[in-house]
Amino acid sequence: MPTEERLLGFSNRWYPEAIRTAHSLALPSGTSVRIIDPVVFIATKLEAFSQRGNNDPIGSRDIEDVISVVDGRPDLPKDFQSAAASVQSFIRQALTILITTVGFRNAVLGYLPHSPTAQQRYTTIMQRFQTITQEHQ
């Protein structure tokens, strides 16, 4: 994937880091694909939201993707601690602002299907966001 704005028509400062930290995964067919690191993926999505999200987390597919990764990766807070300091700092700052944005909690609730476990999943997702935004010494 190219990372230059002149080739893509848009830019994202985290694309070079995404390429650098991607890892290979062998599919059952034997084909090997490169997978972006989940923490860097979140950084790319938060950067995209800052550029095109109009401060509307409810209507943003970028925020939906962030919520999906946070929901689907129980080890994400641990993964976060292994990320580059610049990535951690960016995500921490962006999420600290985002989770206080009007509509963010509704965006998380809107992501979840209506089910008996939705409230527990919501609580778990919000706890993961809180854990990520807290600086660990």
Residue type, 56: D
Tens-place pLDDT, residues 29-69: 999 999 999 999 999 999 999 988 888 999 999 999 999 99
Whole-structure pTM value: 0.88
Tens-place pLDDT, residues 39-50: 999 999 999 999
At residue 40, the pLDDT reads: 98
Task: Work out whether strand 32-35 and strand 23-26 pair parallel, antiparallel, or are unpaired.
Answer: antiparallel
How far apart (Å, rounded) are the C-alpha atoms in residues 89 and 28? 36
Residue type, 20: R
How far apart (Å, rounded) are the C-alpha atoms in residues 25 and 99? 32
How far apart (Å, rounded) are the C-alpha atoms in residues 132 and 92? 7
